[in-house]
Amino acid sequence: MDKIKHKILVLSGKGGVGKSTVSSQLALYLSHIGKKVGLLDIDLCGPSIPKMLGVENKEVHKSSSGWIPVYRDETQNLGVISIQFLLDKSDTPVIWRGPKKNSMIKQFIEDVCWGELDYLIIDTPPGTSDEHISVTEALLKHNPDGAILVTTPQAVSVSDVRKEISFCKLLGLPIIGIVENMSGYVCPHCSECTNIFSSEGGKLLAEQTNIPFLGKLPIDPYLTACSEKGVNYFKEYPNSSTLSALKTFVETFEQQNK
């Protein structure tokens, strides 16, 4: 952990808001611009990161120093660790009680040979459960940059993210900012963005809680297709609005942390 410059958790109080999408696309974008990145998937019951990055059929190996991440390609700019790599089959469920989950998460934090990284992105399950307490307490020893909170525009999602804000404050975890995911639908033909859900919920929450608003990520059918196939979205669609939004966030974050 001492060799990792920035450690960022991706959190939300609600499932289905796209934490794994935000985590994977942020990691892909950072590696796309030449950063050394690690992506840690601690959603033990629903590990989707390996499929989204096209590495679900690879295996993790263990050395005398700990686990070796699975790398997406020969550049080794993006390494991944997930419980999925330790299961016999992709449809094998993880039916564990809290103590075993907590033990696995501590191993993921302490026993992975990431090497020198610019960023470690940590994808989490929804809510404020044992997994969140374990990973937060383990990371706080290593001075994490903080958490990115993901919401969708609807009021029901925003209300659950408020609980995540309280969770972060109670545990002393800094909050980097709020991302509004699924913010409108981008037509694949005309590129017009339509608000099929409500809009501005994430931005309003950020204003009310005095937390930085990091931007909006629209629903993009091309992004969905790339995630399903494990294809690098940014190489396929270099002019996408998603790439533009992530670029703005990363540039702002790096400017603040110079």
- Known binding positions for ATP: 13-20
Residue 189 carries which DSSP code? T
CA dist list (Å): 67 to 37, 115, 257? 16, 11, 30
Binding site members: 13-20, 187, 190
Q: Using CA atoms, how far apart are residues 162 and 166, in angstroms rounded to an integer?
A: 6
Return binding residues for [4Fe-4S] cluster: 187, 190
Q: Taking a C-beta distance cutoff of 8 angstroms, is the pair 187, 194 a contact?
A: yes
Q: Which residue has the tokens 């059929």?
A: 57
Integer Cα distance of 69 and 62 in angstroms: 9
Amino acid at 251: E
